[in-house]
Amino acid sequence: MKHRYQRVRGTYDILPEDLLLYLKAEETARTMMKLRGYKEIRLPTFEEAGLFIHATGETTDIVEKEMYTFKDKKERQLALRPEGTPGVVRAYLENALNTAFPVSKFCYTGPMFRYERPQGGRRREFFQSGCEYFGNPHPVADAELILLMNDIYASLGISGLIIEINSIGCPECRANYRSQLLAFLNSNKTQLCADCNTRIEKNPLRALDCKLDREKFVNLNAPVISKALCADCAGHFAALQSLLQEAKVPFTVNPYIVRGLDYYTKTVFEAKVQGSDAICAGGRYDGLIKLAGGEETPAVGFAMGVDRTVNLLRAKTAPEAKTPPVFIVIQQEEKIIKNAFLLANSLAGNNIAVAGPYPDKSFKAQLRLADSAGSKYTLILGENEINSGSVTLKDMAGKTQETVKQEDIINRLKSGV
């Protein structure tokens, strides 16, 4: 039967079993980020649309095609956040978080929204765990983030991480490179998609990030920006590589990675596993904080795609036990119901997962439920038990049972669950 309401295209219900994997990915990222001094913040899921238009970039795919924008009742032009960084920068400036110490580190986790064509690994509401490092221009900051990303995936047990890095230089390097790239794009115009033809006029660098033409640029040997870097940017990139080598983090330089955002400078990086889309991506954005109205402040960050990370975890993780270890079965009587209700509370309060009581079901039906739920123990509470202040503890696997005093039950279960 078709139900009256369905979830909106591109959105997903994250059901209990899967949610455990989301929490594992997010919690691992959070713990490892905090170990490196990133402080967690939680920011609004919608902002003035202008923030993203200005910061993410007017001619990026995210802003041009993928942003959920709407007017509120007061005609304010708002947008559901498509990514985390612009909000972090806004909050940093608005709350004057920059005054105490020149270096600040933040991490966040939460939903992002992009109007993309839904398909495997591409959702309209998805989750990112990200971190931002403000105030350190040195490549140690870039290297720290790449290491952190590598450590998170190692700790999640995801092996075979492929880390690709590149440098897209500073605005000066890009001005030099732009003319080379334009010449190339113009002479190959007819082979490129309609979007790339528009990009020639509006933002030629964006073409390199095109989902359709990406391969062609490699095959046609398009000029690469890494060859047009100024001395400062080239030195920064070389120093980063040497730090990564020092830390024994495996990486490759992919000169065709430019990333889909306007604000990047110097380092950009992506991580994936063989055959997957990018699961985590980031880069340096030394110009963004000034562009948003702050002091000139170097910055670097990354965002981990939680859903795509979970796809990899799902493939390697056996589903966790669905059933709580203890199932309470009772006789349907007022005083027993109350006693069982309190017992369930005290078990849960002592970290023992519990199901029941279900007083609307007959004693027999409860026993059947306990059997089919696959719990490790059944606790039976009837007239006799209540009168003697005890419970009957049935071990479902061994089919043995014993009588345990109510005051001893928690210790008994803790030693056996």
Q: Residues in the site for ligand ATP, rule: CB under 6 A?
A: 83, 114, 116, 121-123, 126, 128, 260, 277-281, 303, 305, 307-308
Shortest Cβ distance from residue 277 to ligand ATP (Å)? 5
Tokens (6 digits) for 159? 């092996």
Nearer to ligand ATP, 103 or 278 (CB): 278
In the complex with ligand ATP, the residue whose CB is nearer, 126 or 134, is 126
**Residue with smaller CB distance to ligand ATP, 287 or 305:** 305
For the CB of residue 218, give the shortest distance to ligand ATP in the complex, in Å: 16
- Which residue's CB is nearer to ligand ATP, number 276 or number 331? 276
Please report how close the Cβ of residue 405 comes to ligand ATP at its closest, in angstroms. 53
Closest distance between ligand ATP and the C-beta of residue 148, in Å? 15
C-beta closer to ligand ATP: residue 155 or 350: 155
- Assigned token pair, 394: 């049935």
**For ligand ATP, the closer CB: 126 or 377:** 126
Instruction: Considering the complex, state which of residue 81 and residue 123 has its C-beta at the smaller distance from ligand ATP.
Output: 123
Least distance between ligand ATP and beta carbon 344 (Å)? 39
Taking CB positions, which residue lies at the least distance from ligand ATP?
305
Shortest Å distance, C-beta 36 to ligand ATP: 19
Shortest Cβ 310–ligand ATP spacing (Å): 10
